[in-house]
Amino acid sequence: MKNYTLKHLQELESESIFILREVAAQFEKPVLLFSGGKDSIIVSHLARKAFWPAKIPFPLLHIDTGHNFPETIEYRDWWANEINATVIVKYVQDSIDKGRAVEEKGIHASRNVLQTVTLLDAIEELKTDCAIGGARRDEEKARAKERFFSHRDEFGQWDPKNQRPELWNLFNGKKNMGEHFRAFPISNWTEMDVWQYILAENIPLPKIYFSHKRKVFQRDGQWLADFDFMVKKPTEIVEEKIIRFRTIGDITCTGAVESTASTLEEVVQEVAASRTTERGTRADDKRSEAAMEDRKKAGYF
Amino acid sequence: MPEHQTSNINDQTSGYLEMDLLRFTTAGSVDDGKSTLIGRLLYDSKSIFEDQYEAVKASSEQRGEEYVNLALLTDGLRAEREQGITIDVAYRYFATPKRKFIIADTPGHIQYTRNMVTGASTANLAIVLIDARKGVIEQTMRHAFIASLLKIPHIVVCINKMDLVEYKQEVFESIKKDFEAFASKLDSIDINFIPISALNGDNVVDRSKNMDWYEGPTLLYQLENIHIASDHNHIDCRFPVQYVIRPMSNEYHDYRGFAGRVAGGVFQKGDKVVVLPSGFSTKIKSIDTFGGELEEAFSPMSVTITLEDEIDISRGDMIVRENNQPQISQDIDLMICWFNARPLQVGGKYMLKHTSRDARCMVKEVAYKMDINTLHRIEDDKTLQMNDIGRIKIRTTVPLFFDEYRTNRFTGSLILIDEATNETMGAGMIV
């Protein structure tokens, strides 16, 4: 008899496509949260596969902190066109101007937390009933407890101790007015799976994932990119380094690593040999042991 | 168009693409060494990263603990760390050159039966931990029963803390005998026994030097090599329609594709099929994916099927083979695990999800409740409270197309949902 088994990346792909179709079937106005990072790129790539030959039946939503790498924005518009998807952009700056959010002060100031305000406002304005995200359970310990279909109350809050059980492939997306869901189709993928899949599928990525020369300064053992809005201590000296980014987020809290990996193959090799996690380069997770749990409870991605 | 970096090599011959996937579950309570075992598997397979280890080490020191507490790696929520217990199912990932593993790490105490059931629902294998000093206890039987009820195809019984019984073969053999006696009451499953010490690493990843008498595989070897190809049903063709794809574009003007995940059997292009509930017969015209047409599709592949004839088909319908059809009925017998603080109401109405079909149902009766520690049927108290498991009868508003859970986990399972709060109330296995 033939061997009817899937390789693990095929099985993960099949699971993610199933989740994406389930979202389209169970919800009226989903959006796909798109940051320009590799995880949201993968989710949009999977969405293209899930609904082909039809268009992806929901728009991409980008919450722009105003502190995005220009390469990310350029990539976003190119990729959306490539996969024939609609993009909606909402700006954290607008939330600040309207007095809905207050800019943080000091050298650790970041708009990372403020994104939650803009995101929840956008969800309300667009009447979004499900926001699809690229979070993975292997990233962070609070995310390890996340469901594929994750319920949010009318305040956008996550209640981790009272989550709906998820069994087999039965997903309960039922909700009352004003509530919404977050769906995480690549929950079961690891960082390595993502990179191997990008390699196998030959998915184009923003340039800043690859080695390049950049003006950076060191803080808490991390290399941060130097932009004019970055507040530096007098001791923090800007120098030029050959670096790349392992994750793509807000400039103020995304650390770079020194690397000469300039092709996908080299990046995969580097990830395979790495002894630290990619979230280790994220200052937003280092605020406290439960930093991610607290942000997620408030409605973060 | 900006230059975005892509790879020139499409198909790497690296081993990573040749790995398959094993999902397993572990159940355990405080002190039985479950966290240590998982920590050991992750640590010895080099799946713990330095920053994770450093973070755990720092927390351990701050809490005044003498050793690096690997349980802090698996306990993700603030409340879990504070109380030192696992409350919810946590998923962990590791890989060896042979396989990728997903661990559903669940708490083992009776009040968390629902979490164990959840973790078990997608697992190919269950690890049941026994403390060598205590032998088979109630909790062991509970874990084994849940594994058997949820039809996890393989069980590995790890007799742990062998170091504390001087690595004696008699202790191992006697516990094995006790477990086998009990397991004979369970539905036949593949059971293996391994004597280990999670703390010292005996027979976890490396062979123990302290137990020459044991000639079987180590735990990791077992996990890497257990045969999982036959865990899916490849005989009874079942394709629940999940979503209808209609591109409405010039290029695909008349395209109507039925998207879904194969729940059983092998579908081939040209197969004669029947669509339920309409009963219309037709043939498979194509099996489509973004990457191109396929000759055949099997469980658990996500594909899109097009048919030769134009038939009205929507989500919740099922494509099957003419000479191999599921049961069709509105009266269904279930084993159910109850998840909610509000007990199951006989005569109560619930929403129901089964494959891609939504329906409503009424609970007709509770036949009996299980004592999940002894496997006895309780016939005088039929109230199903949270974490209880029992046998019930329901009547649905529309017919369901189903198989017994024992022959197909996808077409044999359903969940009940509260009509007011939308909470998932129970998980049912059709008998």
Q: Name the minimum distance, in Å, from the CA of A195 to any CA of chain B.
A: 11
Judge whether B238-321 and B327-430 match in fold: yes
> Who has greater pLDDT, B324 or A290?
B324
Residues in chain B with CB shorter than 8 Å from the CB of A264 are 5-7
Please name which of B193, B137, B129, B133 lies closest in space to residue B167, comparing C-alpha atoms. B133
Count of all residues that appear for chain A in the document: 301
Whether A161 sits inside 8 A of B300 (CB atoms) is no
Whether B315 sits inside 8 A of A280 (CB atoms) is no
How far apart CA B107 and CA B86 sit, in angstroms, is 5
Q: Which fold has domain B327-430?
A: Elongation Factor Tu (Ef-tu); domain 3 (2.40.30)
- The SS3 call for residue B93 is strand
How far apart CA A54 and CA A38 sit, in angstroms, is 23
Q: Using CA atoms in the order B346, B347, B353, B359, what is the torsion angle rounded to 10 degrees?
A: 170
Query: Residue B320's pLDDT is what?
Result: 98
How far apart CA B306 and CA A177 sit, in angstroms, is 36
Burial label for B105, CB within 10 Å (0-12, 13-18, 19+), is buried
A86-90, A111-115, A257-261 — which is least confidently predicted? A111-115
Whether B291 sits inside 8 A of A290 (CB atoms) is no
Q: Which top CATH class is B15-231?
A: alpha beta
Query: Residue B82's pLDDT is what?
Result: 62
> Who has greater pLDDT, A46 or B50?
A46
Please name which of B146, B91, B128 lies closest in space to residue B388, comparing C-alpha atoms. B146
- Residue A282: pLDDT over 80: no
Q: Which residues contact B84 (CB under 8 A, 6 or more apart)?
A: B30, B71, B75
Is the N-terminal amide bond of A206 cis, ω within 30° of 0? no
Q: Which residues contact B252 (CB under 8 A, 6 or more apart)?
A: A53, A54
Cβ B126 vs Cβ B148: under 8 Å: no
Residues in chain A with CB shorter than 8 Å from the CB of B264 are none
Query: Residue B2's pLDDT is what?
Result: 44
Residue ranges per structural domain of chain B = 15-231, 238-321, 327-430
Nearest to B7 among A3, A199, A277 (CB): A199
Mean pLDDT in residue range A97-104? 85
Count of all residues that appear for chain B in the document: 431
Q: Which two tokens stand for residue B364?
A: 């007709």
> 């099985």: which residue's tokens?
A11
Mean pLDDT in residue range A224-251? 88
> Who has greater pLDDT, A56 or A290?
A56
C-alpha separations of B160 from B133, B148, B389 in Å: 9, 21, 28
Q: Name the minimum distance, in Å, from the CA of B410 to any CA of chain A.
A: 7
Residues in chain A with CB shorter than 8 Å from the CB of B266 are 4
Whether A206 sits inside 8 A of B4 (CB atoms) is yes
Q: What angle do CA B117, B88, A41 make, to 5 degrees?
A: 100
Residues in chain B with CB shorter than 8 Å from the CB of A78 are 1-2, 4
Low-confidence stretches of chain B (pLDDT < 70) are 1-15, 28-31, 66-87, 188
Query: Residue B13's pLDDT is what?
Result: 39
Residue ranges per structural domain of chain A = 8-193+289-298, 205-286
Mean pLDDT in residue range A87-114? 85
Q: Which of A78, A83, A168, A212 to mutate to test the interface with B (most CBs of B within 10 A)?
A: A168
DSSP secondary structure of B104-122: EEEE-SGGGHHHHHHHHTT
Strands (E), A76-179: 87-91, 130-132, 149-152
How far apart CA B48 and CA B39 sit, in angstroms, is 8
- Residue A172: pLDDT over 60: yes
Residue A284's pLDDT band (cuts 50, 70, 90): low
Whether B229 sits inside 8 A of A275 (CB atoms) is no
Q: Which two tokens stand for residue B281?
A: 């017969």
Please name which of B395, B314, B310 lies closest in space to residue B349, comparing C-alpha atoms. B395
Please name which of A66, A69, A85 lies closest in space to residue A77, comparing C-alpha atoms. A85
How far apart CA A114 and CA B316 sit, in angstroms, is 41
> 């007990």: which residue's tokens?
B343
Which CATH code is given to the segment(s) B238-321?
2.40.30.10
Mean pLDDT in residue range A52-75? 94
Looking at chain A, the whole-number percentage of residues with pLDDT higher than 70 is 94
- The SS3 call for residue B372 is coil
How far apart CA A7 and CA A243 sit, in angstroms, is 33
Residue-wise pLDDT tens digits, A122-153: 999 999 999 999 999 988 777 888 899 999 98
> 């099957």: which residue's tokens?
B320
Q: Quote the CATH superfamily of domain A8-193+289-298.
A: HUPs (3.40.50.620)
Q: Which residues of A178-204 are buried (b: 16+ CB within 10 A; e: fewer)?
A: eebbbbbbbbbbbbbbbbbbbbbbebb
Residue-wise pLDDT tens digits, B44-55: 777 777 777 777
Question: Terminus-to-terminus CA distance in chain B, angstroms?
Answer: 58
Cβ B120 vs Cβ B144: under 8 Å: no
ipTM score here? Answer: 0.91
Q: Which two tokens stand for residue A35?
A: 């940051």
The mean predicted confidence, pLDDT, of chain A is: 89
Residue A280's pLDDT band (cuts 50, 70, 90): low
Whether B5 sits inside 8 A of A52 (CB atoms) is no
A237, containing H or E segment: none
Please name which of B160, B166, B172 lies closest in space to residue B196, comparing C-alpha atoms. B160
Mean pLDDT in residue range A7-12? 94
Nearest to B415 among A6, A172, A202 (CB): A172
Query: Residue B5's pLDDT is what?
Result: 45
